[in-house]
Amino acid sequence: MTIYVDDMQLAARVGPVEGVWSHLLSDLPGEEGQRELIAFAERLGIDPRWIQNEGTTTEHFDVREPMRQRALALGAVPISYGREVARITLAKRGRDA
């Protein structure tokens, strides 16, 4: 059971919020992964309603850089955007099958 935060760090405006964004995700599939992800997000002060792609293997929260740094301080594992995120997603698909 691990929570990851990637290094996408994309400058963008999401709704009214402008920032540098990355992703917070779990490596567990299904409800177990969602529970783990939401519990960690709530420790960061993230509203569970902000979850993206809910119920899929690409389920995640978008986080701005200050929140990314707090996630790392709380024990999230840093990963590279792209290949490492894809590896986790594919592994979750395999475990859902």
Tens of pLDDT, residue by residue over 9-19, are 999 998 899 99
Q: Which residues pair with 24 in a beta bridge?
A: 5, 61
- Of 50, 6, 11, whose CA–CA distance to 26 is shortest? 6
Mean pLDDT, all residues of the chain: 94
| Phi then psi dihedrals of residue 22, to 5 deg | -140, -175
Predicted pLDDT at 15: 84
Could you report how far apart the first and last alpha carbons of the chain are, in Å?
19
Band (pLDDT 50/70/90 cuts) for residue 96 is low
Share of the chain above pLDDT 70, in %: 97
Predicted pLDDT at 95: 74
Tens of pLDDT, residue by residue over 37-77, are 999 999 999 999 999 999 999 999 999 999 999 999 999 99
Q: How far apart are CA 97 and CA 74, in angstroms?
A: 31
| pTM of the shown model | 0.92
For the chain, give every domain's residue range. Answer: 3-96
| Residue 16 structure tokens | 């009214």
